[in-house]
Amino acid sequence: MENKTKAQLFWLVILRLAIGWHFLYEGLVKLSNPNWTSFGYLMDSKGLFEGMFHSMAENESVLNIVDFLNIWGLIAIGLSLIVGFLSRPAIIGGITLLAFYYLSHPAFISLKYALPSTGSYFIIDKTIIELFALVVLFVFPTSKEIGIDKLVFTIKPSTRENE
């Protein structure tokens, strides 16, 4: 924390909030749609892990778990990033989710998806950029400066004694 400028801290927090916002809203919208399921998305999977994602979709109990974890994972990670509570595990969770999304729909030229694309991508797409952004947040944590983690972990020997 000592070596971040105010601007650095500010923009890192903004990045954390943006990703948290994205996760939370996505999760809530899925939650409020009783018909939502990851079935179509998983079945649309292409590439190296296609088989794995298809079998996840085809097994009803696995699919239910995937849907549950996806919705509540998105909501929990989103909440956590926004309020800055338990940010490290949340970031790891977020990276895992995004890795699944990316691996199920890798941006390779030869692969065509049913899901409409919003731009042109080769290897690097928005999913993996969001994933990298989470990695940045992992190596530059901010929740102990701005966030509830500060409140929780502050009952520890303080580094402020030097102040």
Partner 1 sequence: MNKYNKMNRRDLLKSLATVPVLGAVLYGWHKKKQAVELMKKAMHSEISLNAYNPVIEKEVAAGKKLRIGIIGAGSRGSALLKGAGFVPPETIDSWKEDAAKDKNNTRYEEYLEQEDLNVELVAVCDIFESYAERAIKAGANIFREGSNGKMGNEPKRYRTYQELLADDNIDAVIIGTPDHWHGTITIAAAKAGKHIYCEKPMTWTVPETYEVVKAVQENNVVFQLGHQNRQNESYFKAKEAIEKGIIGKVNLIEVTTNRNSPGGAWVYDIHPDANEQTIDWEQFIGPAPKHEFSLERFFRWRCWWDYSTGLSGDLFTHDYDAMNQILGLGIPHSAVSSGGVYHYKDGRTVPDVLQSVFEYPQKDLSLVYSASLASNKHRGRTIMAHDGYMDVGGELKVFADRGSTKYKQQIEDGLIDPEIPIYSYVPGQEHVDAITSPTEKYFAQRGLLYSYHKGKRLSTTHLHIKDWIDAIRTGRKATCNENRGFEEAITAHMGTIAYREQRKVFWDADKQEIV
Is the Cβ of residue 35 or residue 110 nearer to partner 1 in the bound state? 35
The least distance separating partner 1 from the CB of residue 43, rounded to whole angstroms, comes to 5
Judged by CB under 8 A, which of 46, 49, 96, 145 binds partner 1? 145
Long-range contacts of 48-53 (CB under 8 A, 24+ apart): 48/103, 48/106, 49/103, 49/104, 50/104, 53/104
Which 17-46 positions form the footprint of partner 1 (CB under 8 A)? 17, 20-21, 24-25, 28-29, 32-35, 37, 39-41, 43-44
Lookup result for tokens 């956590």: 80
* 124 DSSP 8-state letter: B
Decide if residue 15 touches partner 1 (CB under 8 A): no
Packed helices 87-104 and 126-139: angle between N→C axes, nearest 10 degrees: 160
Decide if residue 119 touches partner 1 (CB under 8 A): no
Decide if residue 157 touches partner 1 (CB under 8 A): yes
The least distance separating partner 1 from the CB of residue 24, rounded to whole angstroms, comes to 5
Q: Residue 159 has which token pair?
A: 């580094």
Decide if residue 114 touches partner 1 (CB under 8 A): yes
Q: How far apart are CA 31 and CA 36, in angstroms?
A: 8
Contact 11, 85 (CB under 8 A): no
Which positions touch partner 1 (CB under 8 A)?
Answer: 13, 16-17, 20-21, 24-25, 28-29, 32-35, 37, 39-41, 43-44, 51, 54, 60, 78-79, 82-84, 114-116, 145-151, 154-158, 160-161, 163
